[in-house]
A and B are shown apart, each in its own frame.
Chain A
């Protein structure tokens, strides 16, 4: 038990170093508050610690963390308290380098959560549509249509790209 705990602890520490950026990015998509992000971080990695022995491979581990982070962010946003107060969102955005970039990111952040997620997973993390579908527990075709819809909304910017 003891050795097991230590190894799990070590796993968490490495996982934090390895996946912190990804978790941070997902948080960036969904949350606008530093303390919320901290909460999500803690919860995600506590979950990771508790389930450290279930991961089959690195890919699975990464997908699992993605999924947990999405869920935690959603939980955070749907909490009773959050629905009824307006948080003072800190300016968490990283400075934009170009005008197009700023427009694109602003438009992206305005998308519905579902569409944001697919765009992020597919275009940034580079997962294929079936993989994304598996992570989100959705039908592949659903993911396709969400991607299409998201692209339509971002279309003007895409042309710029």
Chain B
């Protein structure tokens, strides 16, 4: 132990250390003379602890805010997709293209949503799942008249268009894969329409169609279309379009072009369906197999130059092969009328219908009843009845036509 004591005895504070300490004490006393040095000292300590704390807290806060910010970004819908058959839904799509919000606008939509797991899936997947679900629940009818309306909504027109394309294509592919028979109607709109639609408790897709209806017919009772299927709205719009003689390109805002072509598709499907059930023996080229756009074009060109429409003619000729035509001109008119009958609503009440065709109507009806089988008699005649009604409408309309030209 003496060793240690001896050694420790030699451990001494040198003068320099003592001086330094004394100076420091003097300085700090002088610096804080008149003040409570204790508080000063303690507050300095608190400052250092604060600094130490903040060294830990600031990065932690940054991390947390990043996480929260990221989550908020993820959870915020940027674009919306409105999905209507009769179930009306709206999906909120976030920045990353995932579904983060889903809202239904009617009871059907709610049921559809409840049974579909679409949250956090990509928008395309979600729409596909919804379509399959809708089919299971029977919203997509076998006759193919069902319209699936997909409306993309975005602040930017370009984004909305892209989204619309993507949705439309994926549904179309899905329908083809599953052999589902439905018409896809795609549209895009801006977020303003969405806000307006919200006030009426409608999905934006439906709301936009109803606005189009309203634009066509200001007196229309929109209430009754609130719960209507998209199909019915489209057909109504198409009917109005024909009545009002508005050329599809006239008003780009409401996409009349699109409405018309979709309605024509529906009618085609109707027609096809009826023909399939009623006229099984006739093996003709199905009109539905013709490209819709092409079909539309044909409809338009037919009235301008009937002779150019050879494919349609051959087809109808095929059906009318039993008939003996007196002259090529008459035959032409006959086939047009025949074609009209087959294509039901699409062609029958077309606004640009020729007046001569109206005159030929009676003849066409006779021919039709000749060719139609017994079982289909009632359906056909009612159809013809409808046709003649609209034909009369058109005859007055047709009279005006030359003046316009």
Residue numbers of A with Cβ under 8 A of B are 5, 9, 12-13, 16-17, 20-21, 23-25, 28, 37-38, 41-42, 45-46, 49-50, 80, 94, 96-98, 100-101, 104-105, 108, 119-120, 123-124, 157-158, 160-161
Q: Which 6 A-B pairs have the closest CB atoms?
A: A20-B13, A24-B13, A41-B21, A101-B3, A42-B24, A21-B12
B15 to chain A, nearest CB (A): 9
Inter-chain contact B5/A124, CB cutoff 8 Å: yes
Q: In the bound complex, how far is the Cα of B37 from the Cα of A123, in angstroms?
A: 37
Judge whether B1 and A42 touch: CB under 8 Å: no
Minimal beta-carbon separation of A144 from chain B (angstroms): 17
Considering the chains assembled together, what is the distance between the CA atoms of A122 and B18 in angstroms?
Answer: 26
Decide if B8 touches A38 in the complex (CB within 8 Å): no
Interface string of B6-33 (1 = CB under 8 A from A): 1110111100011011101110110001
Known: A9-B29, A24-B11. A123 touches B4 (CB 8 A): yes
* Interface residues of B, count at CB 8 A: 27
Tell me the dominant secondary structure on chain A's binding face.
helix
Q: Is the CB of B11 within 8 A of A38?
A: no
Roughly how many angstroms separate A80 CA and B5 CA in the complex, as a whole number?
A: 34
In the assembled complex, B158 has its CB within 8 A of some CB on chain A: no
Given contacts A37-B17, A41-B17, 10 further A-B contacts (CB under 8 A): A16-B18, A21-B11, A21-B12, A24-B12, A24-B17, A28-B11, A38-B20, A124-B4, A157-B3, A161-B3
Which residues of A are found within 8 Å of B10, using beta-carbon distances? Answer: 94
Between-chain CB contacts (< 8 Å), 24 pairs:
A9-B29, A12-B22, A16-B21, A16-B25, A20-B18, A20-B21, A21-B11, A21-B12, A24-B11, A24-B17, A38-B17, A41-B13, A41-B17, A42-B20, A42-B25, A49-B25, A49-B29, A50-B37, A97-B6, A97-B7, A105-B4, A120-B8, A124-B8, A160-B3
Q: What are the residues of chain B within 8 A of A105 when measuring CB–CB? A: 4, 7
**For B7, what are the chain A residues with a Cβ–Cβ distance below 8 Å?**
94, 96-97, 101, 104-105
Distance of A46 Cα from B45 Cα, bound (Å): 13
Q: Report the separation of the CA atoms of residues A20 and B14 in the bound assembly, to the nearest whole angstrom.
A: 9
Distance in angstroms from A30 CB to nearest chain B CB is 13
CA separation between A45 and B22, bound complex, in Å? 9
Please indicate the chain B residues that have their CB under 8 angstroms from the CB of A17 in the complex. Answer: 18
Contacts of A25 in B (CB 8 A): 8, 11
* Nearest A residue to B34, CB-CB: A1
A98 in contact with B3 (CB, 8 Å)? yes
A61 to B: closest C-beta gap in Å: 16
A residues near B1, Cβ cutoff 8 Å:
123, 158, 161
B138 at the interface (CB under 8 A from A): no
B303 surroundings in chain A (CB, below 8 A): none
What residues of A have a CB within 8 angstroms of the CB of B21 in the complex? 16, 20, 38, 41-42, 45
CA distance A107 to B6 in the complex (A): 16
Contact between B12 and A5, CB atoms less than 8 A apart: no
Query: Which A-chain residue is minimally distant from B37 (CB atoms)?
Result: A50
Residue contact B12 to A41, C-beta cutoff 8 Å: no
Instruction: Judge whether B328 is part of the interface by a CB distance below 8 angstroms.
Output: no
B26 to chain A: which residues have CB within 8 Å?
Answer: 9
Contact A161 B2 (CB under 8 A): yes
Of B6, B13, B26, chain A has the most CB atoms within 10 Å of the CB of: B13
Please tell me if B41 contacts chain A, counting CB pairs below 8 Å.
yes
* B400 sits at the interface (CB 8 A): no
CB closest chain-B residue, reference A37: B17
Is there an interface contact between B20 and A16, defined as CB atoms closer than 8 Å? no
B3 close to A100 (CB less than 8 A): yes
B321 within 8 A of A: no
Q: Does B218 contact A (CB under 8 A)?
A: no
Could you give, for residues 69-113 of chain B, a 1 whenever the CB lies within 8 Å of some chain A CB and a 0 otherwise?
000000000000000000000000000000000000000000000
Instruction: Tell me if B52 is interfacial: C-beta within 8 Å of chain A.
Output: yes
CA distance A38 to B21 in the complex (A): 7
Residue of A41, A50, A97, A123 near B5 (CB, 8 A) is A123
Minimum distance in angstroms from A8 CB to a CB of chain B: 8
Chain B residues within 8 Å of A28, by CB: 11
Interchain CB contact under 8 A, A108 and B29: no
Distance in angstroms from A72 CB to nearest chain B CB is 13
- A21-B13, A49-B29, A161-B1 known; A41 and B52 CB under 8 Å? no
Instruction: Name the residue of chain B whose CB is nearest to the CB of A12.
Output: B25
- Closest Cβ of chain B to A90, distance in Å, is 13
Q: Are B11 and A13 interface neighbours, CB within 8 A?
A: no
B59 part of interface (Cβ distance < 8 Å): no
A45/B25 in contact, CB under 8 A:
yes
Which A residue's beta carbon lies closest to that of B30?
A9
Residue of B nearest to A28 (CB): B11
CA–CA, A133 to B29, complex, Å? 34
Which residues of A are found within 8 Å of B13, using beta-carbon distances? 20-21, 23-24, 41
Q: Is B38 an interface residue (CB 8 A)?
A: yes
